[in-house]
Structure 1
């Protein structure tokens, strides 16, 4: 029986929350960069799964609605590269 190759670990995670969090909250979020969006939401990028768990606890304590959590970075082996566009600036 052969084993499947292990998927590559993501380079990080993007957490999307409701509300425009001022970048001044960065210190409370352990120095993570906060990216307020024009639609009244905020993106927070974390470097790894351990940081993600800590961030989720802080989001829970602060109380904004959690919209999504997205793995970012390397794709699993064998998946074709993503097509890129120039529709706007890249997310952090």
Structure 2
């Protein structure tokens, strides 16, 4: 497996706090509710298509997207 095939770790920051009931929708991602009123979703994304699917889910929630940061790979 080369570096392009390895799942990448991402942190996605949203304005607002996500409730635990959304955990199933974002399977495999952990939620951190920050004191500044934001939520950070952290987890591995298999490829660019999966990242775009995840961002569509974020869009569908209606919470403003603050940032998407690639923090490393999951090897």
TM-score band w.r.t. shorter chain: 0.7 to 0.9
Residue 55 in 1 paired to residue 35 in 2?
A: no
Does the CA-based 8 Å contact 1:11-1:73 persist in structure 2? yes
Structure 1: unaligned runs, 5 residues or longer: 1-6, 75-92
TM-score, length basis structure 2: 0.73
Structure 2: unaligned runs, 5 residues or longer: none
Aligned residues: 68
Q: Alpha-carbon deviation of 1:12? A: 1.0
Please give the secondary structure, in 2, of the residue aligned with 1:70.
strand
4+ residue runs of structure 1 moved beyond 6 angstroms? 7-10
Tell me the equivalent position of 1:68: 67
Higher RCO (C-alpha 8 Å, min separation 6): 2
Tell me the equivalent position of 1:28: 25
Q: Alpha-carbon deviation of 1:40? A: 0.5
